Amino acid sequence: MKLVVAIVRPEKANEVLEALFRSDVQGVTLSRVQGHGGETEQVETYRGTTVKMELHEKVRFDIGVSDHFVEPTVKAILAAARTGDVGDGKIFVLPVEKIFRIRTGEEDRAAVTPVQVVAAGKA
Amino acid sequence: MDTPTLVPADTVWMLVSTALVLLMTPALAFFYGGLVRSKNALNTMMMSVASLGFVGMAWALLGYSLAFAEGPAYVGGLSKALLAGVGLEPQGTIPHLLFMAYQGTFAIITAALVSGAIVERMRFGAYLAFITLWSLVVYAPVAHWVWGGGFLARMGALDFAGGTVVHINAATAAFVAAVVIGQRKDYARQAILPHNVPFTLLGGGLLWFGWFGFNAGSALAANGTAALAFVNTMLAPAGTLVVWTVLDLLRNGKATAVGAATGIVVGLVAITPAAGFIGPLPALVLGALAAFPSYYALVYRARTRLDDSLDVVAAHGLGGTVGALLTGVFASKNWNGTVEGLLHGNPGQLGIQAIAVVAAIAYSGIASYLLLKVIGLVTPLRVDKREEGLGLDKSQHGEEAYADDEGAILILQRTEADAPVGVPTLAAAAAEGGRS
């Protein structure tokens, strides 16, 4: 099991989401974050005050997946989030010790398997 | 009226009306600004605000003369350029200079209306050039046709406060601009949602308030016609708002706030050409009828490839056309003292109204197209994809509507003596090996 953490441009967030759904990745947590990477700074002026915006708006995806889903997840994000300019973001893949589904108490791989697949299996 | 004299009451009303109409342009900034995404809020609002300066100045220097100086049937002359001969002498019953200013506020809002079709993608410099030249090349001649003694005035076309001159004219230019500049890159690929609907409601409310100056002020006097136009300006949007709400309920089961703001504007647009010519109950009917074409055009347009982003064509083009034609239907001598419409036995008036509409669409369409093409030869009309993704507030204005001071590093205006002293930045820290 892995946790895929992706930091992407806000204007690319919808495309990433769409690409993930197309790759059957359905469990996604999204948050708006600010960060600093290597991108050129944005200079803004308000009356006499000129500032460099060192922190840029980004969107962070947290996606818990079973091992064989890591590759399609990462591929989907790489393809959808890229513009080619500095500031496209990063993807981190982290090992995960345990996963629980709160509703059922299911653990690990069962906890990150989409619900309808389980339902179909029971039928 | 034989010897023109100033009437103080008229002067007072026109001073107030001029201020009311000027307020409509910042109101439009809020109306449009709320409808776009937050990253383009300032750019969209600036498109209206800039018109106050650029078109306002062009109007005083040249536009007023092209619209209202003596001239041929199609455009005014240059005799009043640079405000030559525009002083405090009576024009009707108000000072000539005040008349010029009042008409200027119309030129300003008309040019700003066009921006609704091309928000979130047009380069600001190209936009400034476009609206400034447009106010001279397109708006001023059309105003001359109808109000400056041009050929439509001589034919007897009725346009009380500018259904044809302002709304059909602006909407045609908006259509052309949307086609020439093209769709937003996200159009029909992603949901593009209004970022601040309260702004849009505020803008709609302030537009209604200002519109009393627009319509009732077009009587150019504090008289019964002004009162009629005033009341019609109150009643027609009420009719539109009611029908719009019912259509919303029938279609979605819910009355929407964006729909309410839009319905109000459509009603205001529709009553504009008719305000001083028709009775109050016909105004209510006119407003109610005007809801239908605009409502369904809005729904339909969203499924087409035409990215008229804020629906200038559906709201102002169709609203203006319905209003202009229904003026020819409902006009009543009992109320306006001069002209009857179709319902009062003068079907010919409807034909004259149609000719005026077609003439405005034809001229505005062709001239706006050529103007954009010429400007496009000099400077690119739209931003590149990267800037569009980033948002036009940052790329065109170097500002954000909702700035966050976290991470904003002050750039000090340093003298050479104390140059080494400054605030270390994250980037500098990184360069020194702050990151592993």
What span, in angstroms and rounded, lies between the C-alpha atoms of B97 and B217? 15
CB contact under 8 A, B398 and A53: no
Q: Looking at residue B417, what is its pLDDT?
A: 54
Angle at the Cα of B212 from the Cα atoms of B211 and B214, rounded to 5 degrees: 55
The bridge status of strand A29-35 relative to strand B90-91 is unpaired
Question: Do residues B286 and B326 lie in contact, with contact meaning Cβ atoms separated by under 8 Å?
Answer: yes
| Domain membership flag for residue B399 | no
Q: Is B193 exposed, middle or buried (0-12, 13-18, 19+ CB in 10 A)?
A: exposed
Domains held by chain B: number: 1
> b/e string for B26-36 if b means 16 or more Cβ within 10 A?
bbbbbbbbbbb
Question: Do residues B68 and B148 lie in contact, with contact meaning Cβ atoms separated by under 8 Å?
Answer: yes
Alpha helices, H only, A6-105 = 13-22, 70-81
- Helix, strand, or coil here: B160? coil
Q: What is the ipTM of this complex?
A: 0.79
Radius of gyration of chain A (CA): 18
DSSP string for B401-423: TT---TTEEE-----STTTT--P
Question: Do residues B327 and B274 lie in contact, with contact meaning Cβ atoms separated by under 8 Å?
Answer: yes
pLDDT tens digits, one per residue of B211-266: 999 999 999 999 999 999 999 999 999 999 999 999 999 999 999 999 999 999 99
Alpha helices, H only, B59-136 = 64-68, 96-114, 124-134
CB contact under 8 A, B426 and A45: no
Nearest to A50 among B190, B391, B411 (CB): B411
Nearest to A45 among B190, B398, B406 (CB): B398
| Domain membership flag for residue B194 | yes
Domain that holds residue B360: 8-392
Domain A2-96 top-level CATH class: alpha beta
Nearest to A83 among B386, B406, B411 (CB): B386
A117–chain B Cβ distance below 8 A for any pair:
no
Provide the greatest CA pair distance for chain A: 68
Residue B107: which residues within 8 A CB-CB, separation 6 or more?
B55, B56, B58, B59, B63, B67, B135, B139, B140, B143
The CB density around residue B200, as the number of other CB atoms within 10 Å, is: 25
CB contact under 8 A, B426 and A34: no
Write down the domain spans for chain A.
Answer: 2-96
Nearest CA in chain B to A35: B407
A40–chain B Cβ distance below 8 A for any pair:
no
* CA count, 13 A, side-chain hemisphere, B15: 7
Residues in a beta bridge with A64: A3
Give A76→chain B minimum CA distance, Å.
17
What span, in angstroms and rounded, lies between the C-alpha atoms of A111 and B133? 64
B427 contacts in chain A (CB < 8 Å): 36, 41, 54
Measured CA to CA in angstroms, residue A4 lies from A72, B117, B264, B381 at distances of 11, 41, 49, 41
In tens digits, chain B (436 residues) has pLDDT values of 457 899 999 999 999 999 999 999 999 999 999 999 999 999 999 999 999 999 999 999 999 999 999 988 899 999 999 999 999 999 999 999 999 999 999 999 999 999 999 999 999 999 999 999 999 999 999 999 999 988 999 999 999 999 999 999 999 999 999 999 999 999 998 889 999 999 999 999 999 999 999 999 999 999 999 999 999 999 999 999 999 999 999 999 999 999 999 999 999 999 999 999 999 999 999 999 999 999 999 999 999 999 999 999 999 999 999 999 999 999 999 999 888 999 999 999 999 999 999 999 999 999 999 999 999 999 999 999 999 999 999 999 999 999 888 878 888 766 555 555 445 555 554 555 444 3
Q: Looking at residue B425, what is its pLDDT?
A: 52
What span, in angstroms and rounded, lies between the C-alpha atoms of B30 and B36? 10
| Domain membership flag for residue B65 | yes
Q: Report chain B residues touching chain A, CB-CB < 8 A.
A: 39, 190-191, 386, 389-391, 394, 398-400, 403-404, 406-411, 425-427
CB contact under 8 A, A51 and B389: no
Give A37→chain B minimum CA distance, Å.
9
pLDDT tens digits, one per residue of B30-83: 999 999 999 999 999 999 999 999 999 999 999 999 999 998 889 999 999 999
CB contact under 8 A, B425 and A14: no
Residue B405: which residues within 8 A CB-CB, separation 6 or more?
none
What span, in angstroms and rounded, lies between the C-alpha atoms of B76 and B70? 6
CATH code (residue B167) = 1.10.3430.10
The model's pTM is 0.90
What span, in angstroms and rounded, lies between the C-alpha atoms of B216 and B387? 43
DSSP string for B285-329: HHHHHHHHHHHHHHHHHTTSS---TT-HIIIIIIHHHHHHHHHHH
Indicate the residue type of B91: Q
Alpha helices, H only, B331-425 = 333-336, 348-378, 385-390, 392
Please identify among residues 44-63 of chain A the ones whose CB lies closer than 8 Å to any CB of chain B: 44-46, 49-56
CA B362 to chain centroid, in Å, comes to 19
Nearest to B406 among A43, A52, A55 (CB): A55
